[in-house]
Amino acid sequence: MIYFSAATIAALANGRLSAGTDPQTRINVAGIVTDSRDAVAGSLYVAKAGEHADGHDFVPAAFAAGAVLALAERDVSVEGGGSDGAAHFPAVIVADAVLAMGALAAEVVRRIRAHSPLTVIGITGSAGKTTTKDLLAGILSPLAETVAPVGSYNGEVGVPLTVFRATLDTRYLIIEMGATKTGQITYLSHLVHPDIGVVLCVGSAHAGEFGSIENIATAKGELPAALPAGGTAILNFDDARVRAMAARTAAPVTFFTSADADTPDTVQARNVRTNADGNPEFDLSFPGGGESFAVHSKLLGLHHVTNLLAAASAAHAAGIDAAVIAASLGAQGPVSRYRMERTDRPDGVTVINDAYNANPESMRAALRTLAELGASGARRTWAVLGEMLELGEDSVLAHDAVGRVAVRLNISRLVVVGTGARAMHVGAVMEGSWGDESMFVSDAEAALEVLERELLPGDVVLFKSSNGAGLRFLGDRIALPTRNAPDGTGERTQRS
């Protein structure tokens, strides 16, 4: 366990103690929370201004649940204590609570490195971060103490929360790194100092915020640029923008590829294919030649080959035996929810819920997988698609193109949900869809009515949208009608 006193927190975060706060108050960093509902006895509650609420309003609730200290941007009075400072909740007052969290996380990493060997692995990319993180954690966890993000914790708040779960004996620390603007991955790298950096791909997610795909590439390239000369950069050879990042790093580079690339220091997938259930299979080889390993993944979709190769490459860079890596990849199924999550209903309907995140690239990948599952002609395929958010000025064209792809892939039925996604339906119609092959509905309830009325045994239905569009919950209702809607746990800090 790693403990900080209130005085230490104030020193690390350049803050001050509120009146009456005991400087010797100690907290276990594992008990640092940003949601008052997560507070327990001994917690430190971080009061930060959120998108929809001000965390300072929930300081009393956190202390009622057992918190002993707050990290806040202003004093919060105890009820009945007035506003003269005579009765405030014990707190460290800082200028910026999120930056203060980062300072504490950096100290946690420093203490672990001073105590025992630690390998920090950073993962970024426009898609696939969470699946790659899950796969890598699955390889490393049986071998030594490993800490990986919960859900998609990958931003200025999520990364510190991941670090706070580490102990002095943590051997592997896996960090997802997301961003909505340049400079953020550099900031996160300065907190955790990754030894291994993985870049998966550069896509158009958050293009509206970044301004261009070139700016996205610049931001993702901040991870290899931050690596030390003694580290390892793991880069996707099949993505030209990622491949070019080799010029930005001082670290040795290991590429991974599913193409027939004759390049040194490459982790490679050969004979790539999918089986009848849509699971990817390939022969895995590592740099230096030697034995190749047959991998039969339990994940759904050929696009997961990128994630499988990235996890294999990072584990190999961390010194894990090749046979152990291959065996683990073949044994692992999906871990985090709403990433090509498959449910086979008793009546023969198959539901694929991939509605945690969406961009044009991941939409096309999911639709290709759906088409493969219906390629025999024995099963009807349904694509229930919602809006892809934060695409900027190209949003209408991007949605139009997805609708056209659905037609070209011969998807049986396309249900477009919500005004923001309507261009998908328009694109499908213009591409040649006719009758009720493509339909537009205003919301999830209308889509539910269609599906409950028209789904037949043997049908395969895909749900895909950005998180904010909420189709993942519709997918739950179709997959398991008695399943309660998720409470959002693990979804609070999603970034591109």
- Match 């005579």 to its residue by tokens: 86
Angle between helices 444-454 and 471-479 (to 10 degrees): 30
CA distance 52 to 55: 10
CA distance 437 to 490: 36
The DSSP bridge pattern shows strands 253-257 and 69-72 to be unpaired
Q: Residue 173 in contact with residue 133, Cβ under 8 Å? A: no
pLDDT at 482: 52
CA distance 130 to 430: 35
Q: What is the dihedral of CA 228, 230, 236, 238, to 10 degrees?
A: 110
With vertex at residue 247, the alpha carbon angle to CA 246 and CA 252, rounded to the nearest 5 degrees, is 50
pLDDT at 457: 95
CA distance 323 to 292: 9
CA distance 32 to 162: 10
Structural element, H or E, at residue 415:
strand 413-417
Query: In the 8-state DSSP scheme, what is residue 490?
Result: T
CA distance 269 to 284: 5
pLDDT at 14: 97
pLDDT at 239: 96
CA distance 315 to 263: 20
Q: What is the dihedral of CA 69, 71, 76, 81, to 10 degrees?
A: 20
- For the chain, domains (ranges, CATH) are 3-95 (3.40.1390.10), 116-331 (3.40.1190.10), 341-479 (3.90.190.20)
CA distance 474 to 147: 32
CA 303 to chain centre: 16
pLDDT at 481: 63
The two tokens of residue 494 are: 């999603």
At position 239, the amino acid (one-letter code) is D
Residue-wise pLDDT tens digits, 367-378: 999 999 999 888
Q: Residue 333 in contact with residue 343, Cβ under 8 Å? A: no
The two tokens of residue 9 are: 């927190």
Structural element, H or E, at residue 282:
strand 280-285
Alpha helices in 65-194 (DSSP H): 97-115, 129-140, 158-163, 184-192
Q: Residue 227 in contact with residue 193, Cβ under 8 Å? A: no
Q: Residue 98 in contact with residue 187, Cβ under 8 Å? A: no
Nearest of 6, 239, 254 to residue 128 by alpha carbon: 239
pLDDT at 392: 85
At position 159, the amino acid (one-letter code) is V
The two tokens of residue 150 are: 């919960």
pLDDT at 261: 67
Query: In the 8-state DSSP scheme, what is residue 468?
Result: G
Q: Please tell me whether residue 173 adopts helix, strand or coil conformation.
A: strand
Handedness of CA 221, 222, 226, 232 (dihedral sign): negative
pLDDT at 454: 96
Does the predicted TM-score (pTM) go above 0.85?
yes
3-state secondary structure 219-252: HHCHHHHHCCCCCEEEEECCCHHHHHHHHHCCCC
Q: Residue 458 in contact with residue 378, Cβ under 8 Å? A: yes
Alpha helices in 318-470 (DSSP H): 322-331, 360-373, 395-408, 422-431, 444-454
| Average model confidence (pLDDT) across the chain | 92
Residues of the chain below pLDDT 70: 80-86, 205-208, 261, 481-496
**Would you call 156 exposed, middle or buried from its count of C-beta atoms within 10 A (0-12, 13-18, 19+)?**
buried
Q: Residue 220 in contact with residue 207, Cβ under 8 Å? A: no
Query: In the 8-state DSSP scheme, what is residue 88?
Result: B
